[in-house]
Amino acid sequence: MNYRKLGRYNIKVSEVGVGGWLTHGRSIEDSVTSEIIHQAFDLGVNFFDTADVYNQGKAEISLGKAIKDLKREELVIATKCYFPMSDRPNDRGLGRKHITESVHNSLKRLDVEYIDIMQFHRFDAETSLDETVRAIDDLVRAGKVLYWGVSEWNAQQLTDLVHTAKELNANPPASNQPIYNMLNRYIEDGVLKACEQFGIGNVVFSPLAQGVLTGKYLPGQQPEEGTRAADPKSNMFMHNTMTEEVLTRVQNLKVFVAEQGLGLAEFALAWCLRQKMVSSVIIGATHASQVETNVKASGIQLDAAVWTRAEEILAGQ
């Protein structure tokens, strides 16, 4: 396993991390979560991502159980807040009250004394940036949080956030967690440039397009039962990628990748990691063997012509 700094900050995360968006505390038992986490850790993964809203806190609880017998100082734990956790009017958003209470609640659910990376799950148009920045900065100074960042903020929002932190003499954001994969490249238009300018590291989610870039979904066939695409609770974000056209192109890409001596999943993850501002790719797993396959992406180096040809294939060229 190779490790990268989180942008310009000297905390090193494994190039492949493990997340629990649709799995931990939801679709798999805690015992399976523990098996996956321990397998990942044994393979060199140190970065584990979750959020308070993932199954309304149950994902954090499941992860907390899984890491109980691991050395805390060897782990980088990231979680998030923003989305409503109840019907209470202050139990959402990025105001001081919610951020403070979210951090303390996540600490309890994870059963840890500090959070390595606390991220704001979405932009909050109802809260002024200075309130948000002051709140998280106080938590950093109190030792509850080591680094902080955001998820799915655009380039202008990131820029305004960094400038606000500078004006307040507060700790600036260190991370950004956007979606990024070979089928969704929107961050290349501005977000990555802003992150490079400000030294923000990207820990990207859905690098395999929720499994589409593994090649397991075939054109003209219904997804197998038990897969994410077959679950109406999990496939709500997959409509644009589960088309006959996309699935056919992915199968063509799979053939090309095999000619390079690689599996499609590791190739797609390595494609994300070709970007210097990507610190880690976050994978999901329902069994430990998936982790063993995906960590092979770490350290893969290929000629630019290979990446270009792969992109052409996905574009139908």
Q: Give the residue numbers annotated as catalytic, written as ranges.
A: 54
Place of tokens 């649709």: 22
User: 285's torsion region: left (phi>0), alpha (psi -120 to 50) or beta?
Assistant: beta
State both tokens at 275. 């970007």
User: Distance between CA atoms of 174 and 195, rounded to whole angstroms?
Assistant: 9
Cα 176 from Cα 148, distance rounded (Å):
9
Which class for 71: exposed (0-12), middle (13-18), buried (19 or more C-beta within 10 A)? exposed
Q: Select from 3, 15, 6 the least CA-distant residue to 297.
A: 15
Asked if 257 contacts 263 with a C-beta cutoff of 8 angstroms, the reply is yes
Asked if residues 47 and 74 have their Cβ atoms less than 8 Å apart, the reply is no
Query: Tokens 């770490």 label which residue?
Result: 298
For residues 286, 292, 293 and 298, what is the CA-based torsion angle, rounded to 10 degrees? Answer: 120
